Amino acid sequence: QKEVEQDPGPLSVPEGAIVSLNCTYSNSAFQYFMWYRQYSRKGPELLMYTYSSGNKEDGRFTAQVDKSSKYISLFIRDSQPSDSATYLCAIMMSNYQLIWGAGTKLIIKP
């Protein structure tokens, strides 16, 4: 079993829909949780960073962490075609190394 599981998709939704992207992890020692967005042939860019359980909101994006279930989510409201990208979850261990999910390819249809 991988330490971080993420469905690779692709996930295709119509413009304006609410998108839910998810990762599960196995190691309860993980401390920090991040979501990165990666456009085709580009490097990943940080979207959201959170430590505690609960929700963190930034514009149309909400990151949710449930440490009891070892489950993290990224919600995108009012999705736009420009949101089409691969979304990677990353979890930081206590030694500051990152464990990455496989990435979910998201397609927003106009």
- Catalog residues that contact other proteins under the rule CB under 8 A: 4, 6, 8, 32, 34, 41-46, 49, 88, 90, 92, 96-98, 100-103
- Count the alpha carbons within 13 Å of 23 in the hemisphere toward its beta carbon: 29
Between 5 and 62, CB nearer to other proteins: 5
Angle at 92 between CA 81 and CA 43, to 5 degrees: 40
Nearer to other proteins (CB atom), residue 33 or residue 76 = 33
Q: Smallest distance from the beta carbon of 7 to other proteins, in angstroms?
A: 11
What is the smallest separation between the CB atom of 30 and other proteins, expressed in angstroms?
14
Q: How far is the CB of 38 from other proteins (least distance, A)?
A: 9
Residue 110 per-residue DSSP state = -
- Tell me the torsion sign for CA atoms 82, 101, 67, 13: positive
Of 32 and 75, which CB lies nearer to other proteins in the complex structure? 32
**CB 5 → other proteins: shortest distance, Å?**
10
Q: Tabulate helix, strand, coil % of the chain (nearest 5).
A: 5, 55, 45
Asked if 74 and 82 count as a contact pair (C-beta separation under 8 A), the reply is no
